Amino acid sequence: MMTPPDRLRALLAKPGFVVMPAVWDGLSAKLAAQAGFPTAFLSGSCVAAGRLGGPDLDLISFAEMMDSFQQVRGAAPDMLMLADGDHGFGNAMNVQRTVRAFGRAGAAAILIEDKITPRALVSSGKPCIGREEARMKIRAAVEAAKDSGILVMARTDCRPTQGIDEAVARIAMYVEEGADILFMDSPADDAEIRRGIEAAAGRPSFVVLSPGGARATPSIAEAEKLGFKIGTHPTALVSPAAAGIMAGLAALKAGQAEAASALKPADLRTVLGYGDYDTEGKPFIVKA
């Protein structure tokens, strides 16, 4: 029987670009699976939005991310999940604990990045740890991944603060350390994108496709043409979800029962699985 990491490796070996919706809870994961997506990204920014109602500024803990992973895994058990391991929640030993825990829990892949934490008390900028400390974090992640086979996505955030040369050097370094998927965040243009993908040396490169911040944001077709293999849209689900909640609240304030965009009651019950519950529970009903 193929494990989730095995299945993700097989998916990445097939032709074509792999789109990962960014999910954060049971409902978002279930809907993504029902829409036919084989894989999804448990996004730290979306989890921060859902759990804290706040921004992605390193305030989410390991335990909260693991709890969110259990939610999405329970609601969509067959979906291949990339877990956001953030900075590993500490030093290289914390990285190993994080990788092993998500591997045991059934994640197909985990992202580990090189930013400094805790973040400075401003939301702009994302300073990064030194190159050799970053190397040791990825080395630790790759070693810990051997227990479960979970894929390691190595991310560098150093482009805005240390420049493209350092970012490309880190991608090449992560390849040397055995990372499975590479992610150079915030390239400025197509030329920088190509340098990052070249440094990945044939291993899959990951891209953020939602607009936002000072980064090049290709379309799916453009991303595939540039050489990316896998990507996510971090705001594609959470933004319309927030808009939907706001629309519902506005409707209530206006004296209406629901927003025009609301699902019909029968459709909502279907989405939430009321019929499935009745079917699955029928064999256990006690006869009168």
Report the alpha-carbon distance of residue 145 to residue 88 in Å, rounded.
13
Given this model, what pLDDT does residue 212 score? 72
In tens, the pLDDT along 84-133 reads 999 999 999 999 999 999 999 999 999 999 999 877 777 666 899 999 99
Q: Within a 10 A sphere around the Cβ of 268, how many other Cβ atoms?
A: 11
Locate 160 and state its tokens: 């805005």
Cα angle 249, 251, 252 (rounded to 5 degrees) comes to 65
Given this model, what pLDDT does residue 145 score? 98
In tens, the pLDDT along 71-83 reads 999 999 999 999 9
**Domain boundary assignment for the chain:** 4-241
Architecture of domain 4-241: Alpha-Beta Barrel (3.20)
The mean pLDDT value for 56-74 works out to 96
In tens, the pLDDT along 3-25 reads 999 999 999 999 999 999 999 99
Whether residue 53 has pLDDT greater than 90 = yes
At 140, is the pLDDT very low, low, confident or very high (cuts 50, 70, 90)? very high
In tens, the pLDDT along 203-259 reads 999 999 988 777 888 999 999 999 999 999 999 999 999 999 999 999 999 999 999
In the chain, pLDDT over 70 holds for what percent of residues? 99
Please, what is the average pLDDT of the chain? 96
No. of H helices and E strands in the chain?
A: 13, 8
CA distances from 34 to 37, 77, 79, 274, 279 (A): 7, 12, 10, 15, 18
Given this model, what pLDDT does residue 215 score? 82
Locate 1 and state its tokens: 């029987």
Taking every pair of Cα atoms in the chain, the longest distance, rounded to a whole number of angstroms, is 74
E strand or H helix at 244, and its extent? helix 238-253
Enter the DSSP assignment of 235. T
Given this model, what pLDDT does residue 169 score? 98
pTM: 0.95
